[in-house]
Chain A
Amino acid sequence: MENAAGRRTTRKEEMSWCMLEETFHSCCQLLLQQSEQLKDGWSWESVQDSQEGFLRKTALRSLVINSSPVWDQVGSISDSRSHTSCHSWLNQPQQEKEQSLPVASNDADSITVDIVDDDDEDDGVCMVSEDSSQVLKYEYHILYSCSYSTPVLYFRAFTLEGRSLSLEEVWSSIHPNFRLRLQDSPLHTISQQEHPLLGQPFFMLHPCRTEEFMRPVMQAAQDQHRPVNYVLTWLSVVAPLVGLDVPLKYFIQLHPEVLIRNTEPN
């Protein structure tokens, strides 16, 4: 099977993995075929009068959402797949930050995040009852960024009544571990942006670091002569950040022989 990955530039100064737009399209088509088989819910939306388009999926999540500007929360969060009841959040009152948006602050010292084990759930104080968990509708779009030659993830979330979630609420629904890593720079994180094809407000995971984390993966795949779906691989990295589930079956189905080969320890 032909390598569905990007093309490697051959400039001596740098080897970078840039994905051409046509490669993005073929990767998306492959993903769609598999999604169909797995009933994973992805669809292709095309833009009127053009070949451009994007992948789209909606999913329901059951979460406790904290809408206050206090975003340095502690709590435990299990895999969203298996969780249908409440997550317990230990809500410690902290003084409000001057700028409530998490993207603004670089002050790591003021963040206290303790990860509470699942075992401690009984011992810990659950300040939020099961009743206040809400079912939220998330909508995910995968677009191609020609500026960065990578896929980009856009998403938005609504309550079932149709109220859209704010950045603070979305931020609070991200696992504290991921939040810490995302906070180091405003540009390597989630922010509200205008959807480039629809013109509506969405949240976006900034693409400028994508090439950085994809490079070793693509390099290894090429060295091992292993076909890789760039979009699917990229998705498996970013999806957990936003509570999007990417079933393992996507990868098992494609290369069963590769999976066996790679179970040896390094």
Chain B
Amino acid sequence: MCRRLAASGVFRRFSGDSRGMTASTVAGLLSSEPTAKPRQELRSLTRRELVAVLPAARRCLPLDLLGGARSLCATGSGSNMADDKDVLRDVWFGRIPTCFTLNQDEATEREAEPYYLLLPRVSYLTLVTDKVKKHFLKVIKADDVEEMWFEYEGTPLKWHYPIGVLFDLHATNTVLPWSITVHFKTFPDGDLLHCQSNSVIEAHFMSSIKEADALKHKSQVVNDMQKKDHKQLWMGLQNDKFDQFWAMNRKLMEYPTEEGGFRYIPFRIYQTMSDRPFIQKLFRPVSPEGNVHTLGNLLKEMYPSAIPNDGEPKRFQVVIHGIEPLLETPLQWLSEHLSHPDNFLHICVIPVPTD
């Protein structure tokens, strides 16, 4: 379905902002017929729009469509600089069409209409859902309102994970839009962290950046920054300002040329098959002998069952920002280009769909 949408150029009309849409608009978009010249439309879509299209389309996207990595894999030499910058933009502007519905058990004064929103993959639920809250507060009695929280098919959604990670982990192979249920009562404090203000999100975000730099540079770069520089990183994320953010973030992506990469790669591997929330350990981008470590090397060390042995069928998908990068992709390149704004490489290992 998404390929058809891409062909029809439908997603080109989305400017990428998080304004709400009415149900009828979305219904109209989802049912639109391909135009007379679908092949031309598909070719003329930018990489950014392709990434934004998500599930079915991106499941098949090899990383080379995003530019850069294929040449890097094949020759081991430097990638195309212009393509690499495009990758940063594609990652930043990735969006997930979402439908918010109020929990049926919550008492309302009149019927609650669902609310549609394009969620930024790299942001956090509680940061971008003020409009969702306003929308539903119109129909709920003030007495019944406690801290808002979100749930997908019975699973409370952890606001402190980037939105794209939550989607890839829980809903990646499902039909768009992503259907999230909104709650205002019975906050599950055994599962979710509280988030009473944006300063909590900021503290969490900055804490991740600090931790990532502890791994990459022994905290030297982040400690050399001033308070206003830290603020710039946060404001860039909060206000969706790519240039403002990267003006500062590029410092966190530098490394001494003789080292060949960061000291350790900040990463987390998520899965839903066990209780453990994620795997995070020390891993170098380059071996002591000078070999470049790949995504495959990382998984073999940290999550060997994610990679099938020769002859075995593939049981898991390894997903970053909604795509499955080639296992030969150098980890250092992934860390520099596919990290989230918090400077961590968030990797989801999900079972291959059975249908």
Contacts and interface: CB of A to CB of B under 8 A. Distances in A.
Contact of B211 (A99, A104, A147, A198): A147
Contacts of B189: 164, 201
B214 A147 contact: yes
B199 A199 contact: no
A186 B197 CA distance: 14
Contacts of B281: 146
A170 to B, nearest CB: 12
Interface stretch (A72-80, A115-123, A128-136, A189-197): A189-197
Interface string A161-201: 00010110000000000000000001100011111111111
Contacts of A146: 280-282
A47 to B, nearest CB: 7
A208 B219 contact: yes
Given A48-B274, A196-B280, A199-B276, A147 B194 contact: no
B193 A104 contact: no
A227 to B, nearest CB: 26
Interface string B191-219: 11110110110011011001100110011
Q: Is the interface of B mostly helix, strand, loop or mixed?
A: loop
B199 A187 contact: no
Contacts, number: 76
Contacts of A164: 189-190
A10 to B, nearest CB: 14
Interface of A: 16, 47-48, 99-101, 103-104, 146-148, 164, 166-167, 186-187, 191-201, 206, 208
Contacts of A103: 199-200, 203
Interface residues of B, number: 31
Given A101-B197, A147-B214, A192-B194, A198 B275 contact: yes
A99 B203 contact: no
B20 interface: no
A61 B193 CA distance: 24
Interface string B8-52: 000000000000000000000000000000000000000000000
Contacts of B282: 146
Contacts of B206: 186-187
**What 3 pairs across the A-B complex have the smallest Cβ distances?**
A199-B277, A104-B199, A186-B203
B330 to A, nearest CB: 22
Given A100-B196, A147-B211, A208-B210, A201 B203 contact: no
A258 to B, nearest CB: 32
A48 B194 CA distance: 28
B214 A196 contact: no
Contact of A200 (B190, B278, B280): B190
A149 to B, nearest CB: 9
Contacts of B277: 194-199
